[in-house]
């Protein structure tokens, strides 16, 4: 990447989004990383960090856990306030991505805790219910896992077929 002149944090973020839309994930990570290191805009930093976590997860590089932790840490510091100081911010996806990453590392107990936090933030988050059921199944608790697949089906009867298959 070669750019001339001063580039704002928002422009770096926009470049990252453009690179991401063209499938240039490594370039997108570079742009988002610059945003997290230079911006004073907390919300922009959180979003850039979250995007990096998603890309790392997609690339099967489990640095997604660190990115998710950064998002969660920032979220916890500002958990009751947005940029205007009056709206609660919810980063349910950061907990979900961290849970997926931990599952991929076969750290199912830790992953379940992340899925629980995602579900606590959004009780209709079917993917969190689904992957929690899968993690519980990997721990050998099949009957317990079925309860979570039942919840997925109750929330969304059109959920992809694996919830129905895993339910059996």
* pLDDT 10s digits, 74-124: 555 545 455 555 444 456 777 887 787 778 778 889 889 989 988 988 899
Q: Measured between alpha carbons, how far is 137 from 162 in angstroms, rounded to an integer?
A: 13
Residues 149, 115 share a domain: yes
pLDDT for 132: 93
Residues 3, 71 share a domain: yes
pLDDT for 112: 94
Name which residue leads in pLDDT, 53 or 143: 143
Name which residue leads in pLDDT, 139 or 106: 139
Q: Which of 156, 158, 79 is nearest to 120 (CA)?
A: 79
Q: Does 126 map to a domain?
A: yes
Residues 106, 84 share a domain: no
C-alpha neighbours within 13 Å on the C-beta side of residue 142: 4
pLDDT for 109: 94
Name which residue leads in pLDDT, 131 or 75: 131
Residues 115, 55 share a domain: no
Tens digits of per-residue pLDDT, 12-63? Answer: 888 888 888 888 888 988 888 888 788 777 677 777 877 887 787 777 665 6
Name which residue leads in pLDDT, 74 or 130: 130
Q: Does 60 map to a domain?
A: yes
pLDDT for 136: 92
Q: Does 96 map to a domain?
A: no
pLDDT for 164: 47
CATH of the domain at 74: 1.25.40.10
Residues 147, 109 share a domain: yes
Domain boundary residue among 58, 89, 120?
89
Residues 84, 1 share a domain: yes
Tokens of 106: 């076969």
Name which residue leads in pLDDT, 146 or 77: 146
Name which residue leads in pLDDT, 21 or 140: 140
Residues 151, 118 share a domain: yes
Residues of the domain holding 3: 1-89
pLDDT for 129: 92
* Ramachandran bin of 107, using left for φ above 0, alpha for ψ from -120 to 50, beta for the remaining angles: beta
Domain boundary residue among 89, 110, 132?
89
pLDDT for 69: 66
Name the pTM for this structure: 0.59
Domain boundary residue among 89, 123, 142?
89
Burial 145-159 (b: 16+ CB within 10 A, else e): bbebbebbbeeeeeb
Q: Does 70 map to a domain?
A: yes
Residues 151, 109 share a domain: yes
Q: Does 97 map to a domain?
A: no
Q: Are 91 and 75 in contact (CB under 8 A)?
A: yes
Q: Does 46 map to a domain?
A: yes
């Amino acid at each position: 990447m070669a750019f001339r002149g001063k580039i704002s944090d928002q422009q770096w973020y926009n470049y990252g989004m453009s690179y991401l839309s063209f499938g240039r994930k490594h370039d997108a990570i570079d742009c988002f990383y610059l945003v997290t290191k230079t911006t004073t805009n907390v919300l922009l930093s959180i979003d850039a960090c979250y995007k990096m976590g998603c890309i790392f997860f997609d690339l099967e590089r489990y640095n997604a856990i660190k990115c998710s932790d950064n998002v969660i840490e920032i979220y916890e510091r500002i958990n009751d306030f947005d940029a205007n100081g009056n709206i609660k911010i919810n980063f349910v996806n950061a907990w979900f991505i961290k849970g997926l990453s931990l599952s991929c590392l076969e750290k199912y107990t830790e992953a379940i805790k992340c899925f629980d936090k995602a579900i606590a933030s959004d009780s209709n988050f079917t993917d969190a219910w689904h992957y929690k059921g899968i993690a519980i199944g990997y721990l050998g608790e099949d009957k317990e896992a079925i309860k979570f697949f039942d919840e997925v089906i109750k929330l969304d009867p059109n959920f992809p077929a694996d919830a129905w298959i895993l339910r059996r």
